[in-house]
Each structure stands twice: as C-alpha cells, then as structure tokens.
Amino acid sequence: MKLRLSREGFTLIELLLVIGIIAILASIVIVAINPTKQMGDARNAQRRSDVNTILNAIYQYAIDNNGTMPGCLGEDPAVGGPICVKGSACADVTGGCNLDSLTTSYIVDLPKDPSGATGNDTNYAVAITSGRVTVSAPKAEQSQTISVTR
C-alpha cells in the first residue's frame, strides 16, 4: 500500500500574498472614495440649504410687514453681520445681527453651521447692499463660496 501525504490549507507565502493584494485594493478604494471630501460636500450642501432657508424667511417676514426687514436689517439698510442664535442679545458676537423675530412664524429655529457652530454665532452672515439681501456661509469648506443674493 502506498502512503499519500495530503496537503491541506495554504502556505504562509500564499496567505501573505492574498493579504497584500487585499490591502492594496482597499487603499485604492479609500483614495477613490475620499471620505473627507464626501463629508465636506455634505456639509456644504447643508449650508446651501440653510442659506436659502434664512433668505426665504427674511423675505417672508418683509412681505408680511410691508417691506420692513427683521432685526438689525430693519434698523439701518447698511447693517448686517453674523447671524445670532434665537434668544441671544448678540453680546458675544461682534457685529451680530439678531434675527430672533424670524423664529416666530417664518422658521422653526435659526440654523447653525454643520461644522459645529458654538455659542450664539450661527456661522452664517447677512447683509444688505444696494437694496438686496445677501446671506452667506463664510465657513464653507473646500474653497467654495456659498452666498445667495436676492
């Protein structure tokens, strides 16, 4: 009778080769997906939405109040600045514009920048130039400019 040696499993070289190939493919996929860029794009999309929401609320307020702008925008047409959080006195936001009057009927709450705005500053800004209202997101990522003027 002949004795057979059976060889089961993989050799160390075969396992290392497969692990190396999987690591190379995984690194290519991670570079192609670029999660940092994807997250930045998602936050910028939220900023665009927030800017439009704030601007729409300002104009709805103006329509309901015979053209009078809310908060600091109604005081002086050249005034603007960082938008403060609802209920704040803008004391800790230099040049802040309190748009608290929008939160009663036009917007549930003033949106905050998705990058983690803290304190009373929403990290959005509003200004009036030449009779047109501009709302912007100065903290936009990836060198993008997010600003809407009407």
Please list the ranges in the chain whose pLDDT falls under 70: 1-7, 74-80, 85-89, 91-93, 117
Instruction: Report domain extents, the chain.
Output: 33-149
- Please tell me the predicted confidence (pLDDT) of residue 5: 67
- Please tell me the predicted confidence (pLDDT) of residue 85: 65
User: Which residues have C-beta within 8 Å of that of residue 147, sequence separation ≥ 6?
Assistant: 51, 134, 135, 136, 137
Using CA atoms, how far apart are residues 73 and 128, in angstroms rounded to an integer?
A: 7
* 89 within 8 A of 101, measured Cβ to Cβ: no
* 147 within 8 A of 135, measured Cβ to Cβ: yes
Using CA atoms, how far apart are residues 58 and 148, in angstroms rounded to an integer?
A: 12
CA atoms within 13 A on the CB side of 51: 25
